[in-house]
Structure 1
Amino acid sequence: MTFSAPDVLAPAKLGPVMLRNRIIKAATYEGLSHKARVTQDLIDFHVGYAAGGVGMTTVAYCAVAREGRTDRHQILWTDEAMPGLRRLTEAVHAQGAAVSAQIGHGGPVASPKANGLPALSPTRHFHATSLSWAREATVVDLDRITRAHADAALRAIDAGFDAVEVHLGHNYLASSFLSPKINHRTDAYGGSLENRARFSREIMRAVRDAVGDRIAIVVKMNMDDGVPGGFWLDEAIPVVQWLEADGTLDAIEMTAGSSLLNPMYLFKGDAPLKEFADVMPQPIKLGIKLVGKKKLKSYPYTDAYLLEHARQIRAAVKLPMILLGGITDKPVMDLAMREGFEFVAMARALLREPDLVNRIQKDAATPSLCIHCNKCMPTNFTGTRCVLVDRGTTRSASWGKPEGYAS
């Protein structure tokens, strides 16, 4: 029997949701929320991608607990935030696209200074960026945060979202439990891979039990932390198989890298050291200038750069998969479809050209103008954007600078 690759531009079902095509705007922290609430700038940001043709856009990052934010302005699932979230989903839907909310807890990546609360980690961990210690999460903390994920998913339904993307990657809290480099616990949440995966599985079970099939559930999970001794593909494969067997997700998006230990590993390409230093307060600014090349490494960029590892996950499970990483044009999208992926997720290419999908629909040979310079990365402190295109959307200087990086 021959395999017929699906048309990436044709409608497709993700869980209970029908998308107009298989192209998803990946979660990139927008830096446009204010005091944990939606702003018109944030709405306009996502409406631009919806009008530009994506099947679904992803709002990032919506923290499930106050101490889990990497930026003091990040959205929290409070009563006060709900009217703005409803306005956002209604505006995206008016353009014909679906909309997903990325939910999670920053864990050791969170900013204790911004939150006024200590960051949490599987075991006590020093965060070089915030120059502070994350305290060990107790079982009571884990139970509370697990329930908070379920509550966030329920609120997402109430706010009109079509999907939630649960963040199990980048060494945020759930991902840090998966990592043997960070998780040195000796209780039921540490040691063996089964124990280290327990927290992630409990979160996903709580979310599924809370929402049933009323909303699509996507997981974003690491294949590779990008650091020696960290979580890697040989452990990612069984964890994904366990999640599939649990029946708690509708699709999975595999990612890589550690916002805590090696953030550039996800993005590939040059590390924008000068641009990071320009937006950082002291003494972090000085630290970037002195040791930035060691902490923010550069990696060669190629299109579909996560495919080699992701295809090994693809071979191990039957659940729908979203290919992330270097998705730039129609030929790369078609490659993903031929490799058995059901969806693709785009980030930097759409920051450069929000209407890229519409133009690809008109002409399949349309190239992406993104040069993968990564200078968009530091802009999430002032309003995420491509620095090569002036669209005039930046966060007010009076809001102050965040201390973390979300992705």
Structure 2
Amino acid sequence: MTSPDVLAPASLGPITLRNRIIKSATFEGKTPDALVTDELIEFHRRPSAGGVGMSTVAYCAVAPEGRTERGQLWMRDEAVPGLRRLTDAIHAEGAAASAQLGHAGPVANGKSNGLPALAPSPSFNPMSMRRIHTATVADIERITAAHGTAAKIAVESGFDAVEIHFGHNYFASSFLSPKLNHRKDAYGGSLENRARVVLETARTVREAVGGRVAILAKLNMDDGVPGGFRVDEAIQVAKWLEADGSLDALELTMGSSLLNPMYLFKGDAPIKEFAAVMPQPARLGVKLIGKKFLRAYPYQPLFMLDQARQVRAAVNLPLVLLGGVTDRDGMDTAMAEGFEFVAMARALLMEPDLVNRIAADARTQSRCTHCNQCMPTIFTGARCVLVERR
């Protein structure tokens, strides 16, 4: 069969995108009062004008304690007017808008939020230097329901899609991980039990919005830590999600924001830059043990493809390939491998108009060097520092 044209319109659940390229969620660091700002709107307007089919707004927390820090946007009535301005701006440029919904769980900064971070089992967050509390069954039920409420708010705010965050050892992902989940109740032990939060959350969102918007989820294939969630288990969870019919597409990811964040990104590890923006005592900790926590991995194009292929072979659910998608060759490879969409992040920080440039000339190459110095800028407003230095 002929592979689809990545630049041609494509259906995603009930919506149609102008092409198959999605701007992946990258925390913007542009909501100091947990509300939309003009800076956040411009951050998403630029890649929308630059040609992406859909821009994903991150991170839209479903509850105040589910933020990685208190400046992060969380979904409530007060946020709706700003979110409407944001979706209007994206739509005006011809792109669709997606809201990434999630709860940071053990990755949440309890000190910043003034609320306890929650996980399946007690542990410690080295970034906030705070204890992580065990989520009760009541907490799980409340957070699951909050995803449905947040999805309704996203619909009210004009979003075309929602993306549920099941990756990076955030709340739902931490339940999937045998390393982090030591529970003895119905939410721990077997994979079926550990996947309960994921499946119940996806069903709740579908029940809340029906077919009014597209529903995607971002699912870890590999936590990147010994004893963590691996691709064989991810395949089974993907099968369960497909059987439920709660999702329109699945975006595949990897890594642990709690234990091994660089496993997701590949490329250089900006330890010095991270330390410079951290408050004490986290700054000292990064300087002392940063090389153990921020481990560098060699970058290569399509670096998630090998694991993603295994998921692709097991399910018929539309899949989004993320990781090292920066040029037309990579996009065409993804289409030929059977993926319905591709997602880009870092390359669009440097060149928001990259998709339009690729459409004009298929030989266009991204200028992104994968130095990852954009990562520490989430604390001061996500951006490409190389652009600033020109």
TM-score category, normalised to shorter length: over 0.9
Bigger relative contact order, structure 1 or 2 (CA pairs below 8 A, ≥6 apart): 1
Q: Please say if 1:41 is aligned against 2:39.
A: yes
Pick the aligned partner of 2:279 from 281, 286, 295. Answer: 281
Indicate the residue corresponding to 2:56 in structure 1.
Answer: 58
Mapping of residues 105-144 of structure 1, within 5 Å: 105-144=103-142
Partner amino acid for 1:30?
E
Counterpart Cα distance in 2 of 1:108 and 1:391: 35
1:131 CA drift (Å): 1.1
Residue by residue over 1:302-325, the C-alpha shift from the partner in whole angstroms, topping out at 9 and shown as x without a partner, is: 000000000100000001000000
Partner amino acid for 1:267?
F
Partner amino acid for 2:329?
P
Counterpart Cα distance in 2 of 1:368 and 1:132: 39
Indicate the residue corresponding to 1:77 in structure 2.
Answer: 75
Mapping of residues 256-335 of structure 1, within 5 Å: 256-335=254-333
Partner amino acid for 1:292?
G
The secondary structure found in structure 2 opposite 1:185 is coil
Indicate the residue corresponding to 2:166 in structure 1.
Answer: 168
Indicate the residue corresponding to 2:191 in structure 1.
Answer: 193
The secondary structure found in structure 2 opposite 1:184 is coil
Partner amino acid for 1:171?
N
Indicate the residue corresponding to 1:352 in structure 2.
Answer: 350
The secondary structure found in structure 2 opposite 1:102 is strand
Partner amino acid for 1:90?
D
Mapping of residues 356-375 of structure 1, within 5 Å: 356-375=354-373
| Aligned pairs, number | 390
1:71 CA drift (Å): 1.5
Indicate the residue corresponding to 1:88 in structure 2.
Answer: 86
Partner amino acid for 1:95?
E
Mapping of residues 10-49 of structure 1, within 5 Å: 10-49=8-47
Indicate the residue corresponding to 2:149 in structure 1.
Answer: 151
The secondary structure found in structure 1 opposite 2:388 is coil
CA RMSD of aligned residues (A): 0.9
Indicate the residue corresponding to 2:379 in structure 1.
Answer: 381
Q: What is the percentage of aligned positions where both structures have the same residue?
A: 68
Residue by residue over 1:40-92, the C-alpha shift from the partner in whole angstroms, topping out at 9 and shown as x without a partner, is: 00000000010000000000000000100002111111111110000000011
Mapping of residues 181-260 of structure 1, within 5 Å: 181-260=179-258
Partner amino acid for 1:291?
I
Residue by residue over 1:259-278, the C-alpha shift from the partner in whole angstroms, topping out at 9 and shown as x without a partner, is: 00000000001100111011
**Poorly superposed stretches of 4+, deviation over 3 Å:** none
Indicate the residue corresponding to 1:398 in structure 2.
Answer: none
- Residue pair 2:76, 2:150 contacting (<8 A) in 1 also: no
Counterpart Cα distance in 1 of 2:32 and 2:166: 25
Deviates more, 1:85-94 or 1:72-81: 72-81
Counterpart Cα distance in 1 of 2:69 and 2:335: 36
Partner amino acid for 1:338?
A
Counterpart Cα distance in 2 of 1:277 and 1:368: 28
Residue by residue over 1:357-377, the C-alpha shift from the partner in whole angstroms, topping out at 9 and shown as x without a partner, is: 001111010111001000000
1:390 CA drift (Å): 2.3
Partner amino acid for 1:13?
S
1:125 CA drift (Å): 1.0
Counterpart Cα distance in 2 of 1:340 and 1:15: 17
Counterpart Cα distance in 2 of 1:4 and 1:359: 24
User: If the length of structure 1 is used for normalisation, what is the TM-score?
Assistant: 0.95
Partner amino acid for 2:354?
L
Partner amino acid for 2:368?
C
1:129 CA drift (Å): 1.2
Residue by residue over 1:100-122, the C-alpha shift from the partner in whole angstroms, topping out at 9 and shown as x without a partner, is: 00000000000101111110010
Counterpart Cα distance in 2 of 1:152 and 1:123: 25
1:391 CA drift (Å): 9.7
Counterpart Cα distance in 2 of 1:76 and 1:285: 27
Pick the aligned partner of 2:4 from 3, 6, 13. Answer: 6
1:128 CA drift (Å): 1.2
The secondary structure found in structure 1 opposite 2:98 is strand
Partner amino acid for 2:42?
D
Partner amino acid for 1:51?
A
For structure 1, the 5+ residue unaligned runs are 393-407
Counterpart Cα distance in 2 of 1:289 and 1:36: 29
